[in-house]
Amino acid sequence: MDAAESMAEGDRPSPGPTGDEGGLTPRELKMLAFERQWWRYAGAKEQAVREEFGLSPTRYYQLLNQLLDKEEAMRADPMLVKRLRRMRSTRQRKRVARRLGIEAL
């Protein structure tokens, strides 16, 4: 069902009124907005993801990581995308360090 969710009708790119969001789907724009303020939701983030997007947390993070690699996302919200990319990179470094048995910086 996750594959079908990612091909939903509402996932067509929207032109965006200012042109800054061009190429991003309404769901992608909603994901960026969610990441800007997810802490405002009561309860765990995973539960909020299920309620807001109807996706499993795993699928949400897969889609979010794909979104972070898009130039359109960078143009839509550069500070948020840079922060999320930085956090992703830090987590990746820690994971690799843990696997190698070394201390991550």
Per-residue pLDDT of 54-101, as tens digits, reads: 999 999 999 999 999 999 999 999 999 999 999 999 999 999 999 998
**pLDDT band per the 50, 70, 90 thresholds, residue 21:** low
Put simply, whether the predicted model's pTM sits higher than 0.85 gets the answer no
In the prediction, which pLDDT does 9 show? 37
12 bridge partner residues:
none
Q: 48: which residues sit within 8 A by CB, 6+ positions away?
A: 34, 38, 41
End-to-end CA distance of the chain: 39
- Shortest CA distance to 51 belongs to which of 64, 38, 62, 63? 38
